[in-house]
Amino acid sequence: MTQDIAAMFDKVLTRFDNLEQETGMLRALAERLAQSEAVWLTIGKVIISDLELGSVLTTVTQVINENMNVETGSILLLEPDTQELTFAEILRGDQKQFAALRLRAGQGVAGWVAQNKQAVIVPDAPRDARFFSAIDSQTGFQTRSILGVPLIVADQVIGVIELLNKREGEFTNADVSLLEAIAAPVAIAIQNARLRQQLDRQFSQQTDLLQKIERAKREWEGTIDAIEEGVLLVDEQCRILRVNRAFASWLNTTPAVLVGNPCYRAVHGLDAPPSHCPHALVVSGQGQARNIEYEEPHLRRTVRFTAYPIRAQDGGIIGTANVLKDVTLERRLQAQLIQSEKLAATGRMAASLAHEINNPLQAIQGCLDLTQANLNKPEKQTRYLTMATGELSRLATFVQRMLDFSRPAKGDRALIAPRALVDDVLALTGKRLSQARVRVQVNWNDPLPRIKGAGNQLKQVFLNLVLNAMEAMPQGGTLTIAGRVVEENGRWVAVSFEDSGVGIAPDDLKNIFEPFYTTKPDGTGLGLAVSHNIILGHNGHFTVESAVGKGTTVTVWLGAEE
């Protein structure tokens, strides 16, 4: 019985012991839970609120210092590209000593932890094969024991927390659990902070880029605004993409007002592109630059308008760059020059022109005298009066020709038979040429195609050539005017003026079209310069052949129309 009691007592005591043990374990568990809850609270807050890597690491260090009794430790981060571990934070000690240190993949206990993705306790570090002693020898620290825990996010190791030398006793599994509890949120916090860093970097790169774009835009605008010509960038749909200040100022407005509007409205004041629009021609054509010169009432200017293609990377035309040069003043001066040269040429013919008028006047006088002398012979009177009327109309035609010629040239283009121009000029100069003992011969391969041009201007050119030929033959000679068609790079009407005069030395040939170049005491040196301009305006050109002492042939080439 006593034995039974004693056995029961024993049993109860054992239960008691167990209970005490269990209570102790429960208490320890509760403490640990409380501890990790505190850890979670602190670190959780950091994860949510702090996205800066530096302050995340500082907080983690504090939490470890408060909760784990160790001499030192470090947080190492894995470089994703090289798989090396770098020291991001040192618990105690000089951070700088570690700045350049890195562990290769798998090197040291930390490297092992990263590679094996698992925590480890190394109680006697110097004797462990994984231990990397080089760091201790550099820092002078003596590692005894190590606790390493991986930092894992989404199943990926991003680093390692490594604690060295527990102050009292050895590292235990409880320490592992606690450090793992710390490591889990820390890994997330670090990852967040890194993402934030990356975003910041991207954002600042983007800001940089935007600033560069903004700067480039300002430079670009500054550049086209510095150009005095009107500049418009236009897309395929005729919408203005950009326009410079010079152009906007012609319309008394600003570039911003014009951008987005159709170019035909801005340039021509129309609701659709006109048929001569160079932009439309470039976009619809093969893309070579187009250019026209015309008077644009909407801009109140004469403009030389050139459209250049803008191409996409694949070569397709996506718009045009248009340059409009204001040539109003240039044209006005040129017209004045043409006019004054014309008057000079007329002046050189003045003496013969007086003759030209005087001759019919004298004939008329004669007829009227004869009429009076035959007062009672009506049939004779009728004959003389008819003759006088004929002379009068010849005179009227001549004066009309003179007036036509000296009027400022309008530049209106029409289809003209080149022979008619030659005849008109010879009618004006005939007397003068015969005075100068110049024989005129016309070799005309009729019928010649017509040309398109301003008759008045072309007559001025021909007159200059006739006068130059005459002046090159002071003793008289022969002027041969020939017309023919030439098919060579197109179809041309070639009108040549060949004299048997003094000729031009090869060295002087290059100068004769220069303004004010003359070898004559009373020359203006403008005849050929003006003529050259007129012929260029007709898309034609000159050729000159000359031999000193033999003579000169000047040929005008004009495009044949029909």
Nearer to ligand ADP, 377 or 550 (CB): 550
Closest approach, Cβ 533 to ligand ADP, in A, equals 11
Closest approach, Cβ 501 to ligand ADP, in A, equals 5
- Residue 277 to residues 263, 296, 317, 457, Cα–Cα distance (Å): 10, 12, 16, 26
Per rule CB under 6 A, is residue 527 in the interface with ligand ADP?
yes
Nearer to Mg ion, 161 or 438 (CB): 438
Nearer to Mg ion, 56 or 554 (CB): 554
> Token match 């932890």: residue?
113
Interface residue with ligand ADP among 75, 552, 555, 560 (CB under 6 A) is 552
* CA separation for the pair 64, 256 (Å, rounded): 63
Closest approach, Cβ 225 to Mg ion, in A, equals 45
Interface residue with ligand ADP among 106, 525, 537, 559 (CB under 6 A) is 525
Question: Hey, what are 300's tokens?
Answer: 């109140």
Nearer to ligand ADP, 75 or 472 (CB): 472
Nearest of 398, 403, 405 to residue 462 by alpha carbon: 405
Give the CB-nearest residue to ligand ADP.
527
Nearer to ligand ADP, 232 or 512 (CB): 512
Per rule CB under 6 A, is residue 472 in the interface with ligand ADP?
yes
Closest approach, Cβ 521 to Mg ion, in A, equals 13
Closest approach, Cβ 425 to ligand ADP, in A, equals 15
Q: How many CA atoms lie within 13 A of 489 on its CB side?
A: 4
> Token match 């003596």: residue?
142
Nearer to Mg ion, 255 or 527 (CB): 527
Sign of the four-CA dihedral 13, 15, 19, 25 = positive
* CA separation for the pair 446, 202 (Å, rounded): 80
501 contact, one of ligand ADP, Mg ion, none, CB 5-8 Å limit per kind: ligand ADP
Interface residue with ligand ADP among 331, 519, 545, 559 (CB under 6 A) is 519
Nearer to Mg ion, 273 or 527 (CB): 527
Size of the site for ligand ADP (CB under 6 A): 21
DSSP letter, residue 534: H
Closest approach, Cβ 409 to ligand ADP, in A, equals 17
Per rule CB under 5 A, is residue 527 in the interface with Mg ion?
yes
* CA separation for the pair 459, 396 (Å, rounded): 19
What element of type H or E holds 525? none
469 contact, one of ligand ADP, Mg ion, none, CB 5-8 Å limit per kind: ligand ADP
472 contact, one of Mg ion, ligand ADP, none, CB 5-8 Å limit per kind: ligand ADP
DSSP letter, residue 560: B
Nearer to ligand ADP, 89 or 499 (CB): 499
Nearest of 52, 60, 133, 140 to residue 94 by alpha carbon: 140
Nearer to Mg ion, 159 or 527 (CB): 527
SS3 string, 476-508, reads CEEEEEEEEEEECCCEEEEEEEEECCCCCCHHH
> Token match 């809850």: residue?
37
Contacts 24+ apart (CB under 8 A), 192-199: 192/47, 192/51, 193/50, 193/51, 193/52, 193/53, 193/56, 194/53, 194/158, 196/51, 196/52, 196/53, 197/53
306 contact, one of Mg ion, ligand ADP, none, CB 5-8 Å limit per kind: none
175 contact, one of ligand ADP, Mg ion, none, CB 5-8 Å limit per kind: none
Q: How many CA atoms lie within 13 A of 148 on its CB side?
A: 25
What element of type H or E holds 549? none
- Residue 378 to residues 59, 374, 381, 385, 387, Cα–Cα distance (Å): 138, 8, 5, 10, 14
Give the CB-nearest residue to Mg ion.
527
- Residue 61 to residues 42, 175, 182, 292, 510, Cα–Cα distance (Å): 12, 16, 10, 78, 91
Interface residue with ligand ADP among 146, 353, 502, 534 (CB under 6 A) is 502
Closest approach, Cβ 422 to ligand ADP, in A, equals 16
Contact code string over 464-503 relative to Mg ion, x by CB under 5 A = ----x-----------------------------------
Nearer to Mg ion, 64 or 528 (CB): 528
223 CB-near residues (< 8 Å, 6+ apart)? none
Of 9-17, 73-81, 424-432, 519-527, the window that binds ligand ADP (rule: CB under 6 A) is: 519-527
What is the phi/psi pair of residue 401, to 5°? -60, -45
Nearer to ligand ADP, 215 or 520 (CB): 520
Nearer to ligand ADP, 381 or 524 (CB): 524
Interface residue with ligand ADP among 132, 141, 308, 517 (CB under 6 A) is 517
Per rule CB under 6 A, is residue 499 in the interface with ligand ADP?
yes
Per rule CB under 6 A, is residue 464 in the interface with ligand ADP?
yes
* CA separation for the pair 11, 204 (Å, rounded): 74
Positions in the binding site for ligand ADP (CB under 6 A): 464, 468-469, 472, 499, 501-502, 504, 512, 517-520, 523-529, 552
Positions in the binding site for Mg ion (CB under 5 A): 468, 527
